[in-house]
A and B are shown apart, each in its own frame.
Chain A
Amino acid sequence: MTTQVRTEPITVNLGPQHPSTHGVFRMRVTFDGEEIIDVEPIFGYLHRGSEKLAEERTYVQVVTLTDRMDYVGSMLNNQAYMLAVEKLAGVEPSPRGVWLRMIASELQRIASHLVAVGFLIQDLGAWGTPLIYTMREREKILDLFEMLCGARITNSYLRPGGVFMDAPEEFWPAMNAVLDELPPRIDDLDDLLTDNDIIFSRTKGVSVLTPEQMLDASITGPMLRAAGVDWDLRHRDPYDYYDQVTFERPLHTAGDNFARYWVRVQEMRESIKIVRQCEKLIEPGPVRPDHDDVPWLLRPPVGDAYAAIEHSKGELGFYLVSDGSISPYRCHVRAPSLINLTLLREMLVGELLADMFVSFGSVDINMGEVDR
């Protein structure tokens, strides 16, 4: 005897205050049983109007606003903003400053990927241990940032043309110690998680996105590389001195949750390689141009500039318009976190309730950047 179970759709509100949404993100989800049949993301709960605020601040003051966009990738935000300012004002950066900010941003990329991986595994239900492992490593990197600029999260380390102060002498041995410790810790993660049957069965084949879909939806970064598209701005459009360092670009072809996780773990190893090369290539010298050449109160000529970097989450771009005054006339941020959510509905529909937050976590968003 078979019984027909009649189900009917139920709409559930998730967030904005929900521990798994990595911030104040809200979704209106419709389920049929355990299956997701519709998702509507609702943004704006962390909107602080950063772009408007930037119009009232000087070019150097805006750095503090960029810190607070993606607050687990502050150094990278600083870097993208500085590249745009330098392009706009025609500033020639100091070599030592550039190497220092490359070191800072690669360390930040490791820290950001550690957070992404840790929380992804947390969302899978591996409560505590993997997250604490990754956060422990991130903490060491934050300590390095504290040595560099006195701040751990909201660094504001970069200035037009370089950085605001040189690394102290004790920074280099400390950094080497961290870099020596990191690879075995990443191996630990691999042993514990990457070859784990439970992780396989939960993440493989879930929320698959094809390269065509993602390009159409402007999705960039590890998500795109997880589907086999070799697109990394550090390699294709080398900014700063990325043309002088060599690194691999880990690619996966599946485009599912596992691939997105795997690409991030492998990218951490590449970032370590980059930092090591930067350390060899850096030479003594000023960390930023002279005050007479690049004053704190910059007045770039009238015009506009767009500069983009490979952020840990995708292409982070700053579009600045100058009217010749001391503050930007317009400052637009091309936020990878927001744009990578374009296909959230396509990712989730047809998946199960239990996989919802895993898929969501695999996008690796930061609400500070989504809402700005």
Chain B
Amino acid sequence: MSRAWDGAKLAEAIQKSLPDAVVDARGTDIWIAPRSVVEVMRLLRDDSEFRFELLSSVTAVDYISYFEVVYHLTSLTRNATAVVKSKCGIGRDEAKIPSVFDIWRGADLQEREVWDLMGIIFEGHPNHKRIMLWEGFPGHPLRKDFATYEQSIVPESEWRVPTALADELSAENGGAQGS
């Protein structure tokens, strides 16, 4: 049976090596400061007490006044799981957190997805591009202030028709209509 690390115990174990990294611990979760994400994750992967070889999931939640990045870690050696959270973007601006790409390659596509849909910048990610939506898409859809319908509809005045097609269309309409 897999064992979920107790938050308080995990926090205590981390504090032995990194005294000011852990901010809070409740239930099975711990909260760490965004600036110490890389150090904590490296410790969690390499230290023989933890051995979290597998980064199960990276995601983020928009709590209106701040964003929370959630990491789910799995250890195959110890058959254990842990939940690590980090608050960033307090007051909604400058949502930034260091990337864990260098620690787990598995963060690659997942962090790009979080950036694309939630708008959190992962500093140090080598290929920090949108993944599901196209570059230039207005906003980040999973944010709570993104209205599902209105915001994804581009007003007609801002439609961009390729120039050749626009010329063709205006020729068809007898040149009466501008592009």
Contacts and interface: CB of A to CB of B under 8 A. Distances in A.
Contact of B2 (A52, A236, A339): A236
A255 to B, nearest CB: 16
Contact of A216 (B104, B110, B134): B104
B96 interface: no
A210 B57 CA distance: 21
Contacts of A306: 57, 72, 83
Interface residues of B, number: 34
A218 B108 CA distance: 10
Contact of B61 (A329, A341, A372): A329
Nearest to A51: B142
B95 to A, nearest CB: 15
Interface residues of A, number: 39
A34 to B, nearest CB: 27
A65 to B, nearest CB: 14
A319 B105 CA distance: 21
Interface string B92-123: 00000000000011111110010001000000
Nearest to B70: A319
Contact of A220 (B54, B59, B83, B117): B54
B171 interface: no
A243 B148 CA distance: 42
A342 B72 contact: no
A301 to B, nearest CB: 13
A215 interface: yes
A319 B131 contact: no
Interface of B: 1-2, 53-57, 59, 61-62, 70, 72, 76, 79, 81, 83, 104-110, 113, 117, 130-134, 141-142, 146, 148
29 contacts: A43-B131, A43-B132, A47-B133, A49-B148, A51-B117, A56-B148, A215-B53, A215-B54, A216-B53, A216-B104, A216-B105, A218-B54, A218-B106, A218-B110, A219-B106, A237-B2, A237-B81, A243-B1, A304-B61, A306-B83, A317-B57, A319-B72, A330-B142, A332-B57, A334-B56, A334-B57, A339-B109, A342-B106, A342-B109
Interface of A: 43-44, 47, 49, 51-53, 56, 213, 215-220, 229, 231, 236-238, 243, 304, 306, 308, 315, 317, 319, 321, 329-330, 332, 334, 338-339, 341-343, 371-372
Given A218-B104, A231-B76, A343-B105, 9 more contacts: A47-B132, A52-B148, A217-B104, A218-B56, A218-B106, A236-B2, A237-B1, A334-B57, A334-B72
